[in-house]
Amino acid sequence: MGTLSEIDAHTGLYAVFGDPVGHSLSPAIHNRAFHETGHNGVYVALRVRDIEAAVAAVRSLSLRGVSITVPHKTAVIPFLDHVDATAQAIGAVNTIVNQDGCLRGYNTDAPAAVQALKDLVSLAGRKVAILGAGGAARAVGFGLAAEKVPIVVVNRTRSRGKELAQRLGAGFEAIEDYQPADDTILINTTPVGMWPQVDAVPFPPERLKPGMVVMDIIYNPLHSRLLEEAVARGCPTLNGVPMFVYQGALQFKLWTEQEAPLSVMRQVVTDALDNAASGNGQRSPSERGPQ
């Protein structure tokens, strides 16, 4: 909704549940999308520590849709009525749709990551290396596994990396041993390099090769140290903004059954990050690309 005067008894309530959540850009993109499409809705950020109680509130207050972010993406699952097969396989839900009291859980991070990559490069004939083995790595991995792309999980902790690799039907390499091929798409799903530790890199830059594509799901800073090193070596690069926007757009469509205004949502994110960077220090989201 554009102004408070437009909020009425028919306004649908939407929210993001997380802890912390005050920094989230989701209210900005969704409220702008509601305004642009004329959808009578308002979206707020709610700090939630007790996810079971929060889901009960979704039912009692008839919230129409909810974004779920850290640390609740897995913990929320037992309290939902139905979980989409993709979200079930990933083990994480980032979207709740309230369909007449039936709460359905989805994961829009996985298809968002795939679409962001496809906008930059063809996946045909490529190999993918996923840095990390956490929740974001699972979402990205399952999305790409559905595309039948060969995947290797690259992680410092061998036990976690091997566990994810087994779930994906992928290979595993310890980060200290991994040497990427020229046709590799390298995707950082770890928080290494996120503001304020902007000089950190999750992978040795000297191993990057000109034929590689490098994606970092971090969007603060917009150009991480990893991406800067990749550009210097002639690699096409992708930051976390497209993935973040796509996952939000897919949420919007699930909630409203309308196509999301992608270009407007993307501009909201880049303007917010540019404004924060030019002010008194950069905004510091605890999230990366997804939610």
Residues with Cβ within 8 Å of residue 236, at least 6 apart in sequence: 120, 121, 213, 214
The residue type of 243 is M
> Which among 73, 77, 13, 4 has a CA at the least distance from the CA of 45?
13
Q: Which CATH number fits domain 110-239: 3.20.20.70, 3.90.1010.10, 2.30.130.10, 3.40.50.720?
A: 3.40.50.720
User: Is 4-107+242-278 assigned to CATH 3.40.50.2000?
Assistant: no
pTM of the model: 0.91
Q: How far apart (Å, rounded) are the C-alpha atoms in residues 31 and 16?
A: 12
**pLDDT tens profile 119-171:** 999 999 999 999 999 989 999 999 999 999 999 999 999 999 999 999 999 99
* pLDDT class of 195 with cuts at 50, 70, 90: confident
Work out the percent of the chain whose per-residue pLDDT is above 70: 94
Round to whole Å and give the CA distance between 182 and 129: 12
Q: Among the options 73, 148, 162, 253, which is catalytic?
A: 73
Q: Is 253 an active-site residue?
A: no
CATH 3.40.50.10860 location in the chain: 4-107+242-278
Confidence of residue 223 (pLDDT cuts 50, 70, 90): very high
Whether the upstream peptide bond of residue 111 has omega within 30° of 0, thus cis, is no
Quick: pLDDT tens for 57-107: 999 999 999 999 989 999 999 999 999 999 999 999 999 999 999 999 999
- Helix-helix angle 262-278:241-256, to 10 degrees: 140
Q: What pLDDT does 8 receive?
A: 84
Q: Are 71 and 51 in contact (CB under 8 A)?
A: no
